[in-house]
Structure 1
Amino acid sequence: MWESLGFRESPFNTNPLVARQEDVDLLVGRSSESVDLCTQLGTASEGVLVISGRPGVGKTSFFNIQQFLLENDQALFGPKILAARTLCPVQPSDDIRKISIRALDSLYRSVNEWCSINKVDLPQQTKEIGKWIAGTGTSGFSLGINILGFGGSVGRTTQLPKISDATFEAISDAISAISAEVIELLHFKSVVIALDNIENLSDELLGSMLISFRDTLFSTPNVWWVLIGQSGLSSLIQSLDPRVFERTTGSGIEVRPIELTELYDAIKLRVAKFHKKKTGKAPLTEETFKNLFEASFGEVRFVFKYSNNICTKFVEAMRSDVLKELSRSSSLGTKLDKKTFEKKPGCCDWSVSYKFANI
């Protein structure tokens, strides 16, 4: 569909921006939140950081771009961290142990992806732990790992049971082993593990997770745990487990809705990136974007989702007209070829497209 409208792909993709260079310029605003994030991550080499905001406001996009900038020394200030390219999604059906193993796996995948991108060999112990997680290689036996010391301190050796028998302490040891290699061999200051969509957990299960992780996973050296969820997450954590809240850095980062002018800027950037022509224009009017923005109270994902729907409905309507024209021309013995059919939606007057939103 978008090809016929002059775009390589939809400028209204609702997927979050990811930690890569080509997405950096698509993030608009967020200067205040960026300062907060970079400053708080610079206060220590490990900790727990809370990022919250309303659904669809752009929390994940903001976090992904900021950690990419820190990883690649493109941020104005802040530590050099290994970005969590693979976030750890929290599902409503999860139990605490499943979340802990998924967190370990997300760290392994982030290290593996960084090494692949930068054409660097995956550190040996990290590679073995990856096999252990996947249930291959040494997974049926105990796995000996050496957890390196930081700053010249003496390390230690420990054994990991098979993954099905791993305790929170064993999973914490595996995370420590991976982070130690990242710090010592890949020369980062910290690694990041991000638990996304925390709101999927009930208050009771979240409280149990906080208690279980408090003195094990959340205490792992050189690991920043980033908890991403809806507005009020910091206050909820404080009420469920004050001891965990005391370990969180600052009062959390609240990602607020962007301004309307910033939304216009974001759309212009996307149109410039995905349109086939340098002079390409947005397929909808600013008035349409304004109406959607105000109806959603500044929810960017809502604006993009319904902008995409409007365009789809409009093209569907135009193509229905073309099919009717095909039918009429066929009955009259006139041939209407496929080129006409494909070109028709791209020739539409988009200034009237808003009326098709409810078709």
Structure 2
Amino acid sequence: MSVGGSLDIWKSLGLTDSPYNSLPITSDELGDKLLVGREAELRSLSISLLNLHTHPTLEGGNGVGKTSLVSVAGYRLFQSYLAGESKFVLPLQKNFQLSARENVSAFRVKVFLQVVQALIANRDTLPVQKLSIPTIPVLEGWRRALRAISVSSENGGVSESSVGTDSSELAEAIDEVKTWLETQFKDPQSGFFLCVIDNLELLETSSEAKALLEEMRDEVLNIPGLRWVLCGARGIVRSVASTGRLVGFLGDPVDILPVRDEHIGALIEARLNAFKIEDVVSAPVEIDGFLMLYHIGHKNLRIAMKYCQDFTLWALMRGVDFSKTEEKVALLEEWLTSMASKILQNSVVGKRAWAVFDALTRKGGSLKPSDFPEFGFKSYQAMVPHLQSLSSANLIESVVDNVDARKKTISVLPLGWVVNYERLKNHAGAQ
């Protein structure tokens, strides 16, 4: 089935939506169906949330599925609460991210706004006899006051200059929400709102993360009725959790590893079943193809999903009928080669830069400037021109530290992994 005259490519394939959505899984029934291969991690996180008094922390590579794991854990705990099987657990609708310029008082207002919005959205389903929930007019009043100083009513952002103004309505709302939390959750066994700080590595350095989280400790992390899960990559969570002021507040980081190969089949089947319109689906990328893309992308689910969507569009625009195409993996190979060949044939990347690139992919796809001896250079400055040529070819990216521009992390981009695959294939063929 080709796209033909239809602009809805997924419906033309017998699907309601893309089964290869690379966004984090949502905290709902659909998300519960889509998360596969994480039962052990879900059980561990759920036990920690229900039984320990420290805030769990998760660490793992980008795209490994940390946010999705927390979303589904929160959904299951909420369903368990509604069924009368566990204490109150209500996930907030949106996750939080921190920046080096974060104002802690402003951040607390964002959190309170999300708490109030979660209560409004779920008030009709919550067992009010177990939790003294304010009336809708009171909740709406709190939300109106908290939103009054929001940069955006959509994301609940708060301008730093707005907090601390003479707004008596805002000050009253903040005090009333805080008092309500302290009253309702005086006993830790009463339950909690599940809050997530995601992408902690965006702070770039562990010193920034430490300073900000230590400042947040009493203003945010220690508020009754709020349980936090902190997620990050690049070792930043492990460094932060070990600081003296945060010991006892943050749990030891749990390493979230890539989904194992044996679960990939069930993962793809779950996604196709969740979005199929009829029993027969013309899946562009099936299990074997996805597993190949998963390995090419260094077991990054987000990258593999992106590859699937890009390939689907490429094939349909060329008139491929997936309902009649049996050699889908071969077609995938053709697409990969077409992408990589544009770089390999037209690139100005020199021999020495390719050697750096090959060493970088063997290392796992990430390096820091201090790693230059491992790549055969006497200084990082001598390595820079080769990194710049790789960056210009869209094979790698450099994330610069906002505080110290000399500090950065260099990582392989999705296109870089495709080129790496093609280079390895060509090298094997030449032998």
TM-score range, shorter chain: 0.7 to 0.9
> Whose relative contact order is higher, 1 or 2, with alpha carbons under 8 Å and at least 6 apart?
1
| Larger mean Cα displacement after TM superposition, 252-261 or 78-87 | 78-87
Q: Does 1:61 align with 2:68?
A: yes
Could you give the per-residue CA deviations for residues 285-335 of structure 1, whole angstroms, max 9, x where no partner exists?
43321221112232111111101111111112228xxxxxxxxxxxxxxxx
Aligned residues: 304
**Residue matched to 2:143:** 130
SS at match of 1:73: helix
**Residue matched to 1:216:** 219
Contact 1:284 1:353 (C-alpha < 8 Å) held by counterparts:
no
**Aligned to 1:23, which of 24, 31, 38?**
31
Q: Does 1:264 align with 2:265?
A: yes
**Equivalent-residue separation in structure 1 for 2:94 and 2:79 (angstroms):** 17
Q: Which amino acid aligns with 1:50?
A: T
Going from structure 1 to structure 2, the CA distance change for 1:228 and 1:196 (only over 3 Å counts) comes to same
**Aligned to 1:356, which of 316, 332, 335?**
335
Could you give the per-residue CA deviations for residues 221-261 of structure 1, whole angstroms, max 9, x where no partner exists?
2221221211524322145x322133223x13222111112
**Residue matched to 1:308:** 309
SS at match of 1:283: coil
Could you give the per-residue CA deviations for residues 10-52 of structure 1, whole angstroms, max 9, x where no partner exists?
11011211111232121112122122212211224x5422122
**Residue matched to 2:98:** 90
SS at match of 1:190: strand
Q: Which amino acid aligns with 1:6?
A: G
TM-score w.r.t. the length of structure 1 is 0.73
Q: Does 1:164 align with 2:163?
A: yes
**Equivalent-residue separation in structure 1 for 2:133 and 2:86 (angstroms):** 25
**Aligned to 1:39, which of 47, 67, 70?**
47
**Equivalent-residue separation in structure 2 for 1:267 and 1:209 (angstroms):** 39
**Equivalent-residue separation in structure 1 for 2:209 and 2:76 (angstroms):** 30
Going from structure 1 to structure 2, the CA distance change for 1:93 and 1:248 (only over 3 Å counts) comes to closer
Contact 1:7 1:276 (C-alpha < 8 Å) held by counterparts:
yes
Identity %: 18
Gaps of 5+ in 1: 137-161, 320-343
Could you give the per-residue CA deviations for residues 125-156 of structure 1, whole angstroms, max 9, x where no partner exists?
543321221118xxxxxxxxxxxxxxxxxxxx
Gaps of 5+ in 2: 1-8, 150-160, 340-431
**Equivalent-residue separation in structure 2 for 1:223 and 1:213 (angstroms):** 13
**Aligned to 1:206, which of 209, 233, 236?**
209
**Equivalent-residue separation in structure 1 for 2:237 and 2:247 (angstroms):** 7
Going from structure 1 to structure 2, the CA distance change for 1:99 and 1:205 (only over 3 Å counts) comes to farther
**Residue matched to 1:111:** 119
**Equivalent-residue separation in structure 1 for 2:254 and 2:165 (angstroms):** 33
**Aligned to 1:4, which of 5, 12, 17?**
12
